[in-house]
Amino acid sequence: MAVETSCDETSAAVVKNGNEVLSNLIASQIETHKVFGGVVPEVASRKHVESITLMLEEAVEQAGISLEKLSAIAVTEGPGLVGALLVGIMAAKSLAFAIDKPLIGTHHIAGHIYANRLVQEISYPCIALVVSGGHTELALMEREGSFVLIGQTRDDAVGEAYDKVARALGFPYPGGPHVDKLAMESQEVEELPRAWLEPDSYDFSFSGLKSAVLNAVNQHRMRGEEGFEPSIARGFQESVIEVLVEKAIRAVKSTDAVQLLLCGGVAANRGLRSALTERCEREGISLLIPPFSYCTDNAAMIGAAAYLKWKQGEFSSLELKAEPSLSLESWSVAAK
Ligand code: ATP
Ligand code: MG
Ligand code: FE
């Protein structure tokens, strides 16, 4: 059983052998948070409390198994909103205690990465490009469950930049999918900057691009222009994609990686998926991208990552705490 409550999705899943999804239920709180233009932590915690028990019950029911058949209870311990994480952790602890099964505290981003294994076996060493609401990272994975961060964002995460640009263009939260759609439909491209940083750096920066978008929007509005939104969406998306693809490919080529994994909510972006697919085909690089439903937050991916710890017998105690800024590297699974 896997439980995920790190942000604004309450999710419970039953996963077999870390790659067979028997059930994966997701209660999204998007409609609740939309009116505030973003996730309100206090509200998120309360909504998790309302639905967590039902989600756990439904997950075992849909999986068609009894509670005794579960071999472990996995739960996201971090990173995420502390109050939101706590709800999942308390529920998972209670269940683990009640049925006397091991508890496995799991890293949310390891979950996003291992969403790829729900579809296909991963080859190592590999590079993971993580693009989500709170993270933009390049991780080198020499073996299963080991993570070394070789690059990360110095300011905004790419999903965060999408959401802010979307808001400036008049779209509701979460805006990523709206910007994606507008960009794909646009014939025109507004010229916007690319943040490459130092030539050998794998780090990212999206706050300059975000500011450039906000300035462009203001200028168009001051000139009384209309209908400029699609070309800005397209220009923004092209800038983001070019930098992400270029750095990810360079990371694969300059390490011993044999595969590239894309993951996180922004991996649902159609422009990014197709640009990366095309580039990897051209370069002869093996690429894995999860299906749309496993890109944004879900508990099945947490089950996939927790399986690595389960295989090694690395369990958590019932003292497990929420770790709002848990590092990915520190969660690495011990070598066999
Ligand atoms: P993290 O995983 O870093 O803790 P999170 O869990 O809030 O953050 P995810 O659920 O992984 O983030 O992803 C949500 C983000 O993905 C939002 O910023 C959303 O706008 C973005 N997103 C979803 N679909 C698309 C899309 N098609 N194009 C661009 N962005 C998208
Ligand atoms: Mg979310
Ligand atoms: Fe996430």
For 89-100, the pLDDT digits (tens) are 999 999 999 999
Give the domain range for residue 43. 2-113+294-331
Give the CATH number, domain containing residue 276: 3.30.420.40
Q: Is the same domain home to 172 and 282? A: yes
Would 171 be classed as within a structural domain?
yes
CA-to-CA separations, 116 to 5, 112, 180, in angstroms, rounded: 20, 8, 22
Q: Is the same domain home to 72 and 141? A: no
- Considering only CA atoms, which residue is closest to atom 30 of ligand 1? 176
Q: Is 70 helix (H, G, I), strand (E, B) or coil?
A: coil
Would 93 be classed as within a structural domain?
yes
Distance (Å, whole) CA 175 – CA 180: 9
Q: Is the same domain home to 194 and 238? A: yes
Q: Is the same domain home to 151 and 264? A: yes
Q: Is the ipTM of this complex over 0.95?
A: yes
- Considering only CA atoms, which residue is closest to atom 4 of ligand 1? 134
Q: Is the same domain home to 173 and 271? A: yes
Instruction: Tally the domains of the chain.
Output: 2
Mutation pick for ligand 1 pocket among 129, 209, 266 (CB with most ligand atoms within 8 Å): 266
Q: Is the same domain home to 279 and 322? A: no
Q: Is the same domain home to 172 and 311? A: no
Q: Which helix (H) or strand (E) holds 111?
A: helix 108-114
Q: Is 81 helix (H, G, I), strand (E, B) or coil?
A: coil
Q: Which residue has the tokens 């706050």?
A: 207
Q: Is the same domain home to 190 and 320? A: no
Would 336 be classed as within a structural domain?
no
All residue ranges of the chain with pLDDT < 50 are none
The number of the ligand 1 atom at minimal distance from the alpha carbon of 80 is 4
Dump strand ranges (E) for 39-113.
73-78, 103-107
Would 118 be classed as within a structural domain?
no
Q: Is the same domain home to 263 and 214? A: yes
Predicted confidence at residue 35, as pLDDT, reads: 87
Instruction: List, as residue ranges, the binding site for substrate.
Output: 130-134, 163, 176, 180, 269
The residues lining ligand 1, judged by C-beta closer than 6 Å to any ligand atom, are 6-7, 80, 108, 112, 132-135, 159, 162-163, 174-177, 180, 264-266, 268-269, 296-297
Predicted confidence at residue 303, as pLDDT, reads: 98
Q: Is the same domain home to 55 and 165? A: no
Q: Is the same domain home to 101 and 216? A: no
Q: Tell me the torsion sign for CA atoms 152, 156, 162, 163.
A: positive
Which ligand is closest to the CA of 302, given by its number?
3
Mutation pick for ligand 1 pocket among 107, 162, 323 (CB with most ligand atoms within 8 Å): 162
Instruction: List, as residue ranges, the binding site.
Output: 108, 112, 130-134, 163, 176, 180, 269, 297
CA-to-CA separations, 247 to 110, 242, 309, in angstroms, rounded: 20, 9, 30
Predicted confidence at residue 335, as pLDDT, reads: 85
Alpha helices in 115-206 (DSSP H): 158-168, 176-185
Q: Is the same domain home to 127 and 266? A: yes
